[in-house]
Amino acid sequence: MPDSLADFQKARADLNDESLGCGHLGIKRFFALDHQAYEPGPLGSKTKELLGLVASAVLRCDDCITYHLVRAAEDGWSRDEVIDALNVALVVGGSITIPHVRRAFGRMREIDGLKPISAAEK
């Protein structure tokens, strides 16, 4: 886990700005469509964030997992619920996902609402 959550978010915002500001309409639209996919519809945003987390985990994308962990906490999912979702990803995706699940546990140490009890008590 080379970067802190704050460093990750700063680098992400910087490069997102550059990606969105590059002048390519297709990329701009894709980012918008990605954002809209998690807005309330037949399913609520809270449910869809968990779908995004599991999709990110089985596709083994650490940055995507970090993003959805933060959003899941904001939407009110508890640590135990997030872990239960990660377990579905682990079984579907197999032991090749273990390093990503491991790093998800590391990331949760930095996210209010998802911290382990010992860390949360501090």
Q: State the residues that interact with its own copies by CB under 8 A.
A: 1-2, 11-12, 15-16, 18-19, 22-24, 26-27, 29-31, 33-34, 36-38, 41-43, 47-48, 50-52, 54-56, 58-61, 63-64, 78, 80-81, 83-99, 101-103, 105-106, 116
Which tokens sit at 23? 């002048």
The residue among 2 and 112 lying less far from its own copies, judged by its C-beta, is 2
Burial profile 27-42: b = 16 or more Cβ within 10 angstroms, e = fewer: eeeeeeeeeeebeeee
* Of residues 43 and 120, the one with the C-beta less far from its own copies: 43
Question: DSSP label at 46?
Answer: H
Given the complex with its own copies, which of 36 and 112 has the nearer CB atom?
36
Q: What six digits make up the tokens of 36?
A: 């809209």
Q: Shortest Cβ distance from residue 77 to its own copies (Å)?
A: 9
Query: Would you say 91 and 64 are in contact if contact means Cβ atoms under 8 Å apart?
Result: no
The set of residues, in sequence order, having a beta carbon less than 8 Å from that of 77 and lying 6+ positions away, is 46, 49, 50, 85, 113
In the complex, the smallest distance separating the C-beta of residue 73 from its own copies, rounded to whole angstroms, is 14
> Measured from the CB of residue 31, what is the shortest distance to its own copies in angstroms?
8
